[in-house]
Chains A and B, each alone.
Chain A
Amino acid sequence: MNAENLIQEALSNNRQALSEFGSKQLLAACGLPVTREQLAGSREEAARFAEAIGFPVAAKACSPELMHKSEANLIELGLTDTTRVMAAFDRLAEKAGSDIEGILIQEMIAGRRELVLGLIRDPQFGPCVMLGLGGIFTEVFQDTVFRMAPVDRVEAMDMIGELRSRAMLDTFRGQAAADTDALCQAIIAVGQIGMNFEAVSEIDINPLIITPTGDITAVDALVVLNGGVL
């Protein structure tokens, strides 16, 4: 589904946000690298998807209503075989209740370097892109930089250079330097979503993981739509 259709469908269903799965479909449609994942409706489907993706996998309850899954204990990580995947499916499905799109079976991305990439709408400046140190320390270190969208390549590079954790993006503890070209493209793409889709009021990609080989992948994402109050 293309980005426009994803947003229109969510709006016509009075959704105030896209689920993680929907959010990443939107991001992928706009050129961002996202995790390989599929939405399972049954434990058998979950097992099949997991085998197709390759172990280990993550299982996550997926719903536009669920904004902070890890806090709600609706995630299982590092599932190494079909038995564990099916057990995880059962637990998550039961805990999350009926109000979910399904259980998301997702590839596990290696890498401990985590960024956050997002979009906000400021009443005066309109869509603005944020890049920062991601993961669980996002709020602790508040290492974030903003630019008004659209962001060009020069500004995207400047944003990266402004991070206090900049050194983490170079060759770091035996891991390859981050693919800054890909990161620039991701920053630019997020800005473009803000410019092109008035209905998208916020995007939060956290974490955006830098793998040991330097690739970047959006591992969790949330797209909030107009008037989204959850």
Chain B
Amino acid sequence: MIDDIRKSPLYTIVNPKSIAFFGASNNFGAMGSTCFASMKNLGFEGAVYPVHPKETEVQGYPAYASVLDLPETPDLAVLVMPTRLVCKTLEQCGRKGIRHAIVVSGGFREVGGDGVALEKELIQVTERYGIRFLGPNCIGVANPHHKLNTTFLHYEGSAGHIGIASQSGSFVTQMFNYLARFQQGYSTAFSIGNGANIDLVDCLEYLGACPNTKVIALYVEGIHRGRDFVETARRVALKKPIVALYVGGSETGRKAGFSHTGSMAGPDRLYDGIFRQCGIIRATSVTELYDYCRVLGALPESGGRRTIIQTHSGGPGAAAADALGREGLELAEISKKTSEKLKELMPHTGSIGNPVDITFSKNPLDFFSAIPKILLQEENADMLLVYFLISVEMATRPLKAMGMDETEALAQAEKLMKDLGESFARLQRECGKPVVGFSFRDLSEPVFQALMAEGIPVFSDPKRAARALSALSRYPRLREKIRAAETAN
């Protein structure tokens, strides 16, 4: 287990100062060209040396006929080229002194037949020169904090705090847009591919030590080096939450059971138990993987399961209460002190139980500041779940009624939404308790984008919100379990 990412071979792979790029040209039909363009697009600040047998210039960069001709020894080689050229190219990289590579090219072990032998050759060549590499058959990496993206889609969104190690490249590159819509982004993303040299355990270890990473996502089809995985995950989980989506896959290698125990050794149950032993929170879908990462990465730690629901509509509040119960959470008991304070702000139609159903607050702005401020001070509560029904249109109406012209009213309303989101988030930061929202409105609206940008996740369904809160409240308990075992041993 490393405590400093610079000790990992992955450090240079995602923080290179210079890159030799193989497989990029000016023909955008080629994957290598699109990868190169992504790298350019994010504004990688190091030196980039495209190597191409024919081109003298690639997308504005001077190209070199051979890696041996480069004016310096780059930190990293990225290979997005035909399979048959990979070993030869890495051999030359090795001679040039390059010690780190990303092999995007496929056609190795994953295709069987000759590919298996080819991967062995790849391993031999890289071992001869001590080259550490990701892949083959991977999508590459993204480290937006270093303005690096070697994948074929442009990076979207901000440099975030979700680290991912994925056995499918799709969950690296194809989720850029998805995360951006929630005002989130990757800290560092690894596509592992065949894992011929650097594997899932190495990536997990790196992300555990990576200071930009607050939460780790794993997409798993099968774990090799199982015992190392458990040991590493248990150490990492002490420092930051890990969420895993396991979709099965490698059961074929499993021997058929001879006894009751053997026949029931369904790998899914086995992985369930092992994830728990590792302190890993298991997600059951792609959506959930990211939902969990959103709350665990953005929110303060939950002190327990007791939750307050703040709503201005009965049905969504009751649905949220039901969802919380189903996910093992509790409705916090509203103390007398809190209800006294709330009374002043609540209309006679409101109900000070839990859910706290405000109906129409006397002042609409109270829903974003005065009311949550009181609720977040409730000593009997650990978390706050808020139902939002608000839109720019709703805020525009009274402004127009006051005689403001359409454009001005719209601009004012949008600004108000943003301010509301920000003030809510400020409250959360001050009190240090987790706040999660849900709404059935379009989450691209300014108020939700402001909330999410400020670190309050908003979900499209109370069940998703409840499950995410449940995951949030599980992490400290999983971590304490590992700590307890360490203390006992």
Q: Which residues of A approach B to under 8 Å, CB–CB?
A: 67, 116, 118-120, 122-126, 128, 130, 132, 138-139, 142, 144-148, 152-155, 158-159, 162, 202-204, 206, 222, 224, 228-230
Distance in angstroms from A146 CB to nearest chain B CB is 3
Chain B residues contacting A203 (CB-CB under 8 Å) are: 261
Q: Which of B250, B258, B265, B267 contacts A67 (CB 8 A)?
A: B258
Distance in angstroms from A90 CB to nearest chain B CB is 29
Which residues in window 204-231 of B have CB below 8 A to A?
222-227, 230
User: When the two chains form their complex, are residues A125 and B270 in contact, meaning their CB atoms are under 8 A apart?
Assistant: yes
Distance in angstroms from B33 CB to nearest chain A CB is 38
User: When the two chains form their complex, are residues B274 and A155 in contact, meaning their CB atoms are under 8 A apart?
Assistant: no
Distance of A122 Cα from B272 Cα, bound (Å): 14
Distance in angstroms from B261 CB to nearest chain A CB is 3
Distance of A128 Cα from B488 Cα, bound (Å): 21
Kindly state whether residue B276 has any CB partner on chain A within 8 Å.
yes
Distance in angstroms from B92 CB to nearest chain A CB is 35
The proximity string for B residues 237-252 relative to A, scoring 1 for CB distances below 8 Å and 0 otherwise, is: 0000000000000100
Knowing A125-B274, A145-B273, say if A230 contacts B260 (CB, 8 Å).
Answer: no
User: When the two chains form their complex, are residues A202 and B259 in contact, meaning their CB atoms are under 8 A apart?
Assistant: yes
Distance in angstroms from B238 CB to nearest chain A CB is 14
Please classify the interface of chain A as helix (H, G, I), strand (E, B), loop, or mixed, using the class held by over half of its residues.
strand
Q: Which of B270, B481, B489 contacts A122 (CB 8 A)?
A: B270
Chain B residues contacting A123 (CB-CB under 8 Å) are: 253-255
User: When the two chains form their complex, are residues A204 and B261 in contact, meaning their CB atoms are under 8 A apart?
Assistant: yes
Give 10 A-B contacts (CB < 8 Å), ordered by A residue: A67-B258, A124-B250, A126-B227, A128-B265, A139-B264, A142-B269, A145-B273, A155-B485, A202-B262, A224-B258
Chain B residues contacting A142 (CB-CB under 8 Å) are: 264, 266, 269
User: When the two chains form their complex, are residues A158 and B258 in contact, meaning their CB atoms are under 8 A apart?
Assistant: no
Distance in angstroms from A227 CB to nearest chain B CB is 10
User: When the two chains form their complex, are residues B259 and A118 in contact, meaning their CB atoms are under 8 A apart?
Assistant: yes
Q: Which of A118, A148, A229 contacts B260 (CB 8 A)?
A: A118
| Most chain A beta carbons < 10 A, residue from B225, B254, B265, B481 | B265
Q: Which of A118, A146, A154, A155 contacts B272 (CB 8 A)?
A: A146
Chain A residues contacting B265 (CB-CB under 8 Å) are: 120, 122, 128, 130, 146
Kindly state whether residue B484 has any CB partner on chain A within 8 Å.
yes
Kindly state whether residue B43 has any CB partner on chain A within 8 Å.
no
Distance in angstroms from B485 CB to nearest chain A CB is 4
Distance of A229 Cα from B488 Cα, bound (Å): 40
User: When the two chains form their complex, are residues B481 and A158 in contact, meaning their CB atoms are under 8 A apart?
Assistant: yes
| Most chain A beta carbons < 10 A, residue from B230, B258, B276, B489 | B258
Distance of A107 Cα from B373 Cα, bound (Å): 66
| Most chain B beta carbons < 10 A, residue from A116, A120, A128 | A120
Distance in angstroms from A218 CB to nearest chain B CB is 13
User: When the two chains form their complex, are residues B261 and A152 in contact, meaning their CB atoms are under 8 A apart?
Assistant: no
User: When the two chains form their complex, are residues B261 and A130 in contact, meaning their CB atoms are under 8 A apart?
Assistant: yes
Distance of A119 Cα from B259 Cα, bound (Å): 10
Q: Which residues of B approach A to under 8 Å, CB–CB?
A: 222-227, 230, 250, 253-255, 257-267, 269-270, 272-274, 276-277, 481, 484-485, 488-489
Knowing A126-B226, A202-B257, say if A120 contacts B273 (CB, 8 Å).
Answer: no
User: When the two chains form their complex, are residues A118 and B261 in contact, meaning their CB atoms are under 8 A apart?
Assistant: yes
**In the A-B complex, the 7 residue pairs with the closest CB atoms:** A118-B261, A146-B273, A124-B226, A125-B226, A204-B259, A154-B485, A204-B261
Distance in angstroms from A71 CB to nearest chain B CB is 12
Chain B residues contacting A145 (CB-CB under 8 Å) are: 269, 272-273
Q: Which of A147, A148, A222, A229 contacts B226 (CB 8 A)?
A: A148
User: When the two chains form their complex, are residues B488 and A148 in contact, meaning their CB atoms are under 8 A apart?
Assistant: no
Given contacts A122-B270, A162-B273, A202-B261, 15 further A-B contacts (CB under 8 A): A118-B261, A123-B253, A125-B230, A126-B226, A142-B264, A145-B272, A146-B265, A147-B276, A148-B226, A154-B484, A154-B488, A159-B273, A162-B276, A204-B259, A230-B258
Distance of A224 Cα from B261 Cα, bound (Å): 11
Distance of A128 Cα from B277 Cα, bound (Å): 11
User: When the two chains form their complex, are residues B259 and A224 in contact, meaning their CB atoms are under 8 A apart?
Assistant: yes
User: When the two chains form their complex, are residues A146 and B274 in contact, meaning their CB atoms are under 8 A apart?
Assistant: yes
Distance of A158 Cα from B480 Cα, bound (Å): 12
Distance in angstroms from A185 CB to nearest chain B CB is 14
Chain B residues contacting A125 (CB-CB under 8 Å) are: 223, 226-227, 230, 270, 274
Q: Which of B230, B262, B274 contacts A120 (CB 8 A)?
A: B262
| Most chain A beta carbons < 10 A, residue from B255, B257, B270 | B270
Distance of A123 Cα from B270 Cα, bound (Å): 12
User: When the two chains form their complex, are residues B273 and A204 in contact, meaning their CB atoms are under 8 A apart?
Assistant: no
Chain A residues contacting B263 (CB-CB under 8 Å) are: 139
User: When the two chains form their complex, are residues A204 and B276 in contact, meaning their CB atoms are under 8 A apart?
Assistant: no
Distance of A155 Cα from B276 Cα, bound (Å): 9
Distance of A123 Cα from B223 Cα, bound (Å): 10
User: When the two chains form their complex, are residues A144 and B264 in contact, meaning their CB atoms are under 8 A apart?
Assistant: yes
Q: Which of B250, B259, B485 contacts A152 (CB 8 A)?
A: B485
Q: Which residue of chain B has the shortest Cβ distance to A151 in the bound complex?
A: B277
